[in-house]
Amino acid sequence: MHRSPSSVFSPSIHALLRREKSWHWQRNDIARTHIETATQLTTDSLIHYELIIILVERFWVLLSSYLSYALSFLFINPLAAIYCLRLPPSLVCTLQQQNSGF
């Protein structure tokens, strides 16, 4: 009995195609995993960047308010300005209100 070439090679071609599809699926899964990881890393780094910006802004607000209290005390009393640099801003604010007569 004589078989046609297509029937002889058919099972091996199908196996090859299955293997090729499997390889493509694995490659796609790996690529998808890399994309998800890169997206997560980018999101995490953006979150860290935003947190750093918020911390710097809050530090700057605290520093500027502290310096404004120090400068206002400097004009009222030079000795108070020296003590002001060692006190927390909330206490400085209280002292400033007491000095101004509120």
Domain ranges of the chain: 5-100
Instruction: Indicate the average pLDDT of the chain.
Output: 70
Q: Of 23-27, 65-69, 75-79, which gets the smallest average pLDDT?
A: 75-79
pTM of the predicted model over 0.75: no
Q: What is the dihedral of CA 72, 78, 80, 85, to 10 degrees?
A: 80
Contact 76, 99 (CB under 8 A): yes
Please give the pLDDT value at position 29.
Answer: 75
Contact 99, 77 (CB under 8 A): yes
Contact 96, 83 (CB under 8 A): no
Please give the pLDDT value at position 92.
Answer: 60
Q: CA Rg, the chain, in Å?
A: 36
Q: How many Cα atoms are found within 13 Å in the side-chain-facing hemisphere of 40?
A: 6
Place of tokens 């997206």: 39
Mean pLDDT of 20-36: 73
Please give the pLDDT value at position 87.
Answer: 61
Alpha-carbon dihedral sign for residues 53, 59, 60, 62: positive
